[in-house]
């Protein structure tokens, strides 16, 4: 049986949800704001939505080269993240969001920069399609390992961590994935953070998240979390 027509419909439904969530988030950006731009296919819809708003005097930082390039093509000013010491808002996609607001990010291997940008933002807004909410996080959990001693870090982390076949990050890190049990994400996050070879992991706690905008069909559902 040829399922290609169904497959195309499923793909475009998710894409349309990503676009609607992104467009709702773009409305939260105001003239004069400093803005963190995430990475991924949902953020690819956010950038044109921000550009269409013709905002004045926004200053943006990007979490990946791909985002910086798309933003500049659309006329959105992007600067290096070394002169701004805080951001008014950051908007990014997610791979998973649990009912209690934990995220798994880093499917696009940009989680180190994404976490630094989210941590600098007054409000961190998460956007996604209806496939992203989960009862409990499933994984895998993306990792970025310092290049220095990466083989020894991998040996310490054990068989649950596998290298990902992608180039090094722009910061020289090695990308890997933790494929073991997640259990309590706070416990796993603390365990990963305790290893000196782990530069970043893709678990983002609810205390980092201000609002999650998930689109189901044509409706964008908004949930608030503690933020900072």
- CA-to-CA distance for 75 and 58, rounded, in angstroms? 11
Greatest Cα pair distance, the chain, in angstroms, is 57
Segment near ligand 5RP (CB under 6 A), from 29-37, 49-57, 69-77, 110-118? 110-118
Q: How far apart, in Å, are the Cα atoms of 158 and each of 74, 104, 212? A: 44, 20, 33
- For residue 41, give the 3-state DSSP assignment: coil
The secondary structure of 119-155 as a DSSP string is HHEEEEEEEEETTSEESS----EEEEE-STTHHHHHH
114 as an active site residue: the answer is yes
Task: Pick one of 36, 101, 106, 185: the residue that binds ligand 5RP (CB under 6 A).
Answer: 106
Site track for ligand 5RP across 18-57, x = CB under 6 A = --------------------xxxxx---------------
User: In whole angstroms, how close is the CB of 100 to ligand 5RP at the nearest point?
Assistant: 19
- Considering beta carbons, is residue 11 or 151 the nearer one to ligand 5RP? 11
Tokens describing residue 120 = 């600098």
User: In whole angstroms, how close is the CB of 109 to ligand 5RP at the nearest point?
Assistant: 6
CB 29 within 8 A of CB 50: yes
Q: Give the H/E segment covering residue 221.
A: strand 219-224
- Considering beta carbons, is residue 109 or 212 the nearer one to ligand 5RP? 109
User: In whole angstroms, how close is the CB of 92 to ligand 5RP at the nearest point?
Assistant: 5
Does position 114 interact with ligand 5RP (CB under 6 A)? The reply is yes
Which one from 114, 135, 160, 221 is the annotated catalytic residue? 114
84-103 positions binding ligand 5RP, by CB under 6 A:
92-95
CB 175 within 8 A of CB 141: no
**Active-site residue set:** 114
Residues that bind ligand 5RP (CB under 6 A): 38-42, 92-95, 105-111, 114
């Amino acid at each position: 049986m040829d399922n290609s027509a169904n497959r195309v419909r499923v793909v475009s439904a998710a894409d349309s949800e990503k676009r609607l969530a992104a467009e709702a988030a773009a409305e939260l950006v105001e003239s004069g704001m400093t803005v963190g731009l995430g990475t991924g296919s949902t953020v690819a819809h956010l950038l044109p939505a921000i550009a269409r708003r013709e905002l004045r005097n926004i200053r943006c930082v990007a979490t990946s080269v791909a985002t910086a390039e798309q933003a500049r093509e659309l006329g959105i000013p992007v600067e290096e993240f070394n002169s701004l010491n805080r951001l008014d808002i950051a908007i990014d996609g997610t791979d998973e969001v649990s009912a209690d607001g934990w995220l798994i990010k880093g499917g696009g291997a940009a989680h180190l920069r994404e976490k630094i940008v989210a941590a600098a933002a007054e409000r961190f807004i998460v956007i996604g399609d209806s496939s992203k909410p989960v009862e409990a996080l499933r994984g895998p959990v993306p990792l970025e390992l310092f290049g220095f001693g990466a083989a020894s870090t991998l040996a310490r982390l054990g068989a649950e961590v596998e290298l990902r076949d992608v180039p090094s990050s722009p910061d020289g890190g090695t990308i890997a994935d933790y494929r073991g049990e997640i259990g309590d994400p706070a416990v796993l996050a603390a365990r990963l953070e305790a290893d000196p070879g782990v530069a970043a992991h893709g678990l983002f706690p609810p205390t980092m998240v201000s609002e999650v905008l998930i689109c189901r069909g044509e409706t964008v559902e908004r949930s608030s979390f503690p933020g900072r």
